[in-house]
Chains A and B, each alone.
Chain A
Amino acid sequence: MSQAKPSPDSAGPVVMLRDVRLTYGSHVVLDEIGFSVSRGETMCVLGGSGVGKSTILKLILHLEEPDSGHVEVLGHDLETSGRAEIFEARQRMGMVFQGSALFDSLPIFDNVGFPLFEHTDLPLEEIRRRVREALSFVDLDYRRVESLLPSELSGGMKKRVAIARAIVHRPEILLFDEPTSGLDPITTRTIDNLIVKLRRELHVSSIVVTHDTRSACRIANRIALLQSGRIIFIGTPAEMLASDDAYVREYLE
C-alpha cells in the first residue's frame, strides 16, 4: 500500500492541542491539555477509565468543541474552521473506534470501501483493488470476508476491518480508541504489530488511546499519561519506565 502525498503543510506538527479545557456542566473533563504529534509519530494517550482519553480524539475530530484553547489539525485551527473545512480535514484522517463502529447493514466490502465510494469517482474495479489491498494489509483473506456482514466476524476481525476502513483512503493521521480492549493477548499483539506496521510502511501519524501500558510501550514513540483530565507525564516509553513520579509508578505497577 502506498501513502498519499504529504500536503504543503507537512512541515509542522500534524496535530497540536494548546491549553485545551473542556467541561460538562460543573465537571472538568480536560484541563490545560497541550501536546503535538509530528508526521510519522505514534503518540499513546494512557490513563484510567473516565479521565478524558477518548474525549481528546473527539476534539481532534471536532466531534466535541473545547470551552477554551485550540485544536489544530493539519494546519487548520478547528475552532475557526467552517463545516466544509472540518469535513475536508476529517477526510485526511482515519479513526478506529473502540467498538469498531462498522456499519452493520453493509457487507465488509462496502464497509471498507465506504470512504472511496463517498469521496472519489474511482471506477468500481479500482475501489475493489484498494479494498482488497487494505484487507490484505491487515492480514485478512478478502475472499473469505468481503461478502460477510460485520455480525459474522469475531471481535479481532472486526478491529482489523475497522483498521482497513480507516486506511483505505490513505489518511495522514490515524486515531485509535482502545484498539485492543476486550481482545485476547495474541490478537492484541496482532493489532499492536499492525499499528507499528502502519507507521513503518505508510508513515502515518497515529494517536492511540489505551489503558494497556504494555501495548503502549510496544507501539508508541511517545506516551502522555492523563490523570483527572490533566497530562501529568509526557515522554518516551523508556522515560516513562524510568520515571520517579509517584502516580506514574503506581500506574505502571
Chain B
Amino acid sequence: MSSSRASPIRWLNEALKAAAYRVQSYFGLLRRVLASAVTRPFYWRDLAQQMDTIGVASLGIVALTGLFTGMVLALQSSVEMKQFGATIYIGRLVGASAVRELGPVLTALMVAGRAGSGMAAQLGSMRITEQIDALSTLGVDPVRKLVTPRFLAALIMLPVLTVIMDVIAVGGGMLIAVVKLDLTATMYLRSVYQSLAQTGFIFRYIPIDVFGGLVKPLVFGGIIALTSCYYGMNTRGGTEGVGRATTQAVVSSSILILASDYFLTQLLIALLIE
C-alpha cells in the first residue's frame, strides 16, 4: 500500500531531478562556450563556415518570409483601415510590426527550423558515429571546436538576417500599398519612418524600435545555437535518436524564442521607453 503511494512521489522526484540536471548541463554548456569564446585556440575557419551555413544559406527563406509577411500585413490591415479612410497609415502598421516583433521572431523561427535542425542533426550524427569522441581522443575540445563557432556565428548572423527581413517586409508592404491601395512609395515610406521615430532615438540616430529589434535576435541567435547544439551533443540511441534530437531542438528553440520574446519586450520597454 505504502509503496503504491510512494511511487508517484518517487516518479516526480526522479523527473524533477532529471529536469534540474538538464538545466544544469544546458547552462554548463553555455559557460564552456563563453569561456572558449575568449580563450585560445580560436577556430576562425569553422566560424566563417558556420556564418555561411547559418547566415548566407538562410537568406532565401528569410527573404521569402519577409516579403510575404509584409504583403499580408499590408493587405489584411488595409481591409480595416479602408473603412476609416486611414490607408495612408499602412506603412506605420507594417513598419512597427515588422521591426519590433515579426522581423526578429519570424527570422529566429525560420533559422531555428532551417539551421538549428541542421546543427542538431549534424552533431547528433557525429555523436552516434563516435566522431565527437574521436575529437576528444585527438586532444581537441569538442565544445570549442563544434559548439562555440556555431554559437558565435548565430550571434553575428541573426541580427544581420533580421535587418534583411525587416527591409524586405517593409518592401513587401510597399508593393501592396502602391499596387493595390494607390499610395505612393514616398507616402508609404514616410509613414514607416514616423512609426519608427515615434518611440524616440538611442545613440542620437538609431530609432529605439530598430535598436530593440537588433537586441532580440542577438538573444534568439544564442538560444537557437545553444539549444540545437545541446540536443545534438547529447544524442543517444542511433538514427532514431538523431531524429528525436532534431525535433526536440526545433521545438525547444521555438518555445524559448517565443517565451524570451515576451520577457525581452518587457525589459526593453522598461529600459528604453518608460
Show the binding face of A for B, using Cβ within 8 Å: 58, 61, 63, 83, 87-88, 90-91, 93-95, 97-99, 101-104, 114-115, 118-119, 165, 175
Contact = CB atoms under 8 A, between A and B. Distances in A.
Contacts of A118: 138-140
B139 A97 contact: no
A90 B130 contact: no
B137 interface: yes
Given A99-B129, A101-B129, A87 B134 contact: no
B184 interface: no
B138 A115 contact: yes
Nearest to B125: A104
B52 interface: no
Contact of A104 (B129, B133, B140): B129
B131 A101 contact: yes
B80 interface: no
A68 B125 CA distance: 32
A83 B130 CA distance: 20
B33 to A, nearest CB: 15
B138 A97 contact: no
Interface in B123-160: 125, 129-131, 133-134, 136-141
B148 to A, nearest CB: 15
Interface string B19-50: 00000000000000000000000000000000
A67 to B, nearest CB: 17
4 A-B pairs closest in CB distance: A91-B139, A101-B134, A95-B137, A101-B130
B133 A97 contact: yes
Nearest to B140: A118
Contacts, number: 50
A81 B78 CA distance: 68
Nearest to B122: A105
A95 B134 contact: yes
A167 B138 CA distance: 11
Contact of B130 (A88, A93, A97, A119): A97
B133 A63 contact: yes
Given A61-B137, A63-B136, A99-B130, 17 more contacts: A58-B133, A61-B133, A83-B141, A87-B139, A88-B139, A90-B136, A93-B137, A95-B134, A101-B131, A101-B133, A101-B134, A114-B138, A115-B138, A118-B138, A118-B140, A119-B139, A165-B138
B136 A61 contact: yes
A91 B131 CA distance: 16
Contact of B138 (A58, A83, A88, A90): A90
B232 to A, nearest CB: 14
Contacts of B138: 90-91, 114-115, 118, 165
Contacts of A102: 131, 134
16 contacts: A61-B133, A61-B136, A63-B133, A83-B141, A87-B139, A90-B136, A90-B137, A91-B139, A93-B137, A95-B137, A97-B133, A99-B129, A101-B133, A102-B131, A104-B129, A115-B138
B43 to A, nearest CB: 10
Contact of B134 (A58, A83, A88, A97): A97
Contacts of B129: 99, 101, 104
Nearest to B32: A83
Interface string B99-132: 0000000000000000000000000010001110
